[in-house]
């Protein structure tokens, strides 16, 4: 196995975790926080918008089964990378679109992918996704792990995550 990882932020980490867990070759998805300056942030701190951290997921994958480029494509397709600090009704810096690379190759591929996605005409506005080096990833509290799988009838899950997952499966996994 060729195990690799990447950290993405594309809005609420409950949504992004649920999407990326559907992918063949993804070994683990861990919600957490990254991109800010507060050490060991809590969910309550991140929600204030004062930590600089985004809600993110760390995606661990088998690079022989799914490529970094494939993961980038899913990233672009499953959130709106053109809205600054917002995804739907989730508003604040913690919901920003961000790719946190771990090496020069990831940086190069992420920047090329952003440029191609921006030039594709797929989005009505310019992409505002940040591409920055991952300094440190803080796993979120236990109750955020596998949130959708453990809470499918929770209102946010039913009204936001379930339709997003259904759309993803219908459009991109068929």
* CA 30, 106, 120, 171 torsion-angle sign: negative
Q: Counting beta carbons within 10 angstroms of the beta carbon of residue 171, is it exposed (0 to 12), middle (13 to 18) or buried (19 or more)?
A: exposed
Is 15 catalytic? The answer is no
Cα–Cα distance measured from residue 21 to residue 168, given in angstroms and rounded to the nearest whole number: 12
| Catalytic choice (12, 15, 47, 157) | 12
| Per-residue burial over 116-150, b = 16 or more CB atoms within 10 Å of its CB, e = otherwise | ebbeeeeeeeebbbeeeebeebbebeeebbbbbee
Cβ atoms < 10 Å from Cβ of 103:
11
Cα–Cα distance measured from residue 59 to residue 56, given in angstroms and rounded to the nearest whole number: 10
Q: First CA to last CA across the chain, in angstroms?
A: 26
Residues belonging to the active site:
12
């Amino acid at each position: 196995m060729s195990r690799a990882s990447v950290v993405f932020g594309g809005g609420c980490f409950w949504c992004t975790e649920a999407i990326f867990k559907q992918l063949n070759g993804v070994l683990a998805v861990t919600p957490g926080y990254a991109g800010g300056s507060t050490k060991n942030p809590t969910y309550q701190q991140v929600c204030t918008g004062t930590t600089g951290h985004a809600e993110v997921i760390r995606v661990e994958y088998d690079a022989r089964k799914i490529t970094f480029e494939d993961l980038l494509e899913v990233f672009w397709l499953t959130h709106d990378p053109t809205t600054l600090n917002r995804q739907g009704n989730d508003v604040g810096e913690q919901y920003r679109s961000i790719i946190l690379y771990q090496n020069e190759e990831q940086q190069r591929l992420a920047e090329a992918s952003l440029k191609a996605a921006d030039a594709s005409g797929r989005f009505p506005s310019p992409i505002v996704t940040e591409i920055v080096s991952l300094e440190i990833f803080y796993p979120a509290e236990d109750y955020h792990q596998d949130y959708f799988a453990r809470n499918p009838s929770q209102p946010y899950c039913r009204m936001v995550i379930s339709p997003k997952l259904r759309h993803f499966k219908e459009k991109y996994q068929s």
